[in-house]
Amino acid sequence: MTVSQAELLKELRIEKHQRDDHRQGPARWPWIVLAVVVLLALIGAGTWWVGGHRAIPVQTVAAVSPASDPGAGAVLQATGYVTARRQATVSAQITGTLTEVRIEEGDHVKNGQVLAQLDDSAYKAALDAARTQAAATHALVAQYQVQLAQNLRDAARQQSLAEQGLVSKQTAEQARTLADSTRAQLVSQQKTAASADAQVVEAQVNFDYCVIRAPFDGVITTKDAQVGEIVSPFSAGGGFTRTGIGTIVDMDSLEVDVDVNEAYIGRVKPDMPAEAVLDAYPDWKIPAHVIAIVPAADRGKATVKVRVAMEQKDARIVPDMGVRVSFLEQKATSVAQAPKGVLVPAKAIAQRDGRSVVFVVAGGKAQLRAVLPAAQSYGDMKLIPDALQTGDAVVLSPPAELRDGADVQTEKSSP
């Protein structure tokens, strides 16, 4: 069937609603493109924000003063511990129950100061009984002394009468015998009185033992007993009896015991100068010298113990602290002669914009410090005359992306 020309023209004709859709369609595309561009910009900004504020992992090391340069001029280094040559576990000399404990850890005590008190009721009763017994024996001594004096007078009178012939010689001899017997009884009673006095002294000593006193000046490091517990100088099973009240340490007797490998002990001599560095205070060098080399070797460790005296006393030094000792060829120079500034590893110095800089970590952020390293070097350490202070945490091998004010995640490292 043939299609008419009018029908074909009708098919090609654009209706009004189709013309409206055609006009509105292309108009929406610019807005869609703009939305996509904005979304991509936000995603890029978010990525930049997260990446820019991500904590950069870095390694840090503390800047040290030139006087704290470990091992400078040392012929040998060894490690050991701080020990006290004079310390004691204070205990009672008798068995008793604690009624008072006057010490706490860290207390400074003086020689003779009361540390604790035991129940003294039984010992006080024993002392009173001994004193009463002694008083009775001394009363008998006085009685015998009076009786002896009377008997001596009677004997003298009887002797005078016998010489005159008024009484027989036997009567005079009996009077002398009675006087001699009384004298012997007096001597015996005097010995008994002396024994009673000794018993009083013994009871007094035991009574005094109820008060526990400090044997010397020092610091209480441990408190081992409480009120109500039984203490005894003898060890008892079951754990119900304490053998000590506490431990007292004479801080003036602190020294260092170090173990030196027996292969190098020949380098150490008595009175040899040394320097001690406590693990707790690595920037503090303590002048020291060798006291003695203990003439005994540890077969298991192949070491020889060396006693080292510290020439500075300080409250920061406490027993059992770890310490590193450097044995020196000659006594260390004074701190006043040390160069000004601090030492940092050479790899902590970076180049930024044509200048030498060091990054210091403080409060979780990196701080850029412009520095001028000195010409002299100390091994792999560089002297920084200014801009840094002892103890500052400097970044080792700063990464290229590290900038001033950047967040960092630190990890300590040895130089």
The predicted-structure confidence for 92-140, as pLDDT tens digits, reads as follows: 888 899 999 999 999 999 999 999 999 999 999 999 999 999 999 999 9
Quick one: pLDDT at residue 62?
84
- CA atoms in the 13 A half-sphere facing the CB of 89: 8
pLDDT at 70: 47
d(CA 288, CA 253): 14
Question: What does each C-alpha distance from 370 to 34, 39, 240, 278, 361 come to in angstroms?
Answer: 46, 41, 67, 32, 14
User: How many CA atoms does the CB half-sphere of 232 hold within 13 Å?
Assistant: 9
Its pTM stands at 0.54
Tell me the CA distances in angstroms from 304 to 158, 227, 271, one per residue in order. 88, 44, 17
Q: What is the pLDDT of residue 360?
A: 92
State the greatest distance between any 2 C-alpha atoms of the chain, in Å, as a whole number: 207
DSSP secondary structure letter of residue 338: S
φ/ψ of residue 263, rounded to 5? -70, -20
Q: What is the pLDDT of residue 4?
A: 52
Quote the pLDDT of residue 415. Answer: 43
Give residue 291's pLDDT: 94
Q: How far apart are CA 318 and CA 329, in angstroms?
A: 28
Q: What does the alpha-carbon distance between residue 305 and residue 345 come to, in Å, rounded to a whole number?
A: 34
- 122: number of Cβ within 10 Å: 13
Tokens linked to 378: 């100390």
Rounded distance between C-alpha atoms, residue 245 and residue 220, angstroms? 10
Give the per-residue pLDDT at 391: 83
Give pLDDT < 50 ranges for the chain.
1-3, 8-9, 22-25, 27, 48-51, 68-71, 333-336, 414-415
Q: What is the pLDDT of residue 129?
A: 95
- Neighbour tally for 195: CB within 10 Å: 13
Q: What is the pLDDT of residue 385?
A: 86
pLDDT at 315: 86
Residue whose pair of structure tokens reads 């900038």 in the numeric block? 403
Going by C-alpha positions, the residue among 401, 379, 301 that lies closest to residue 64 is 379
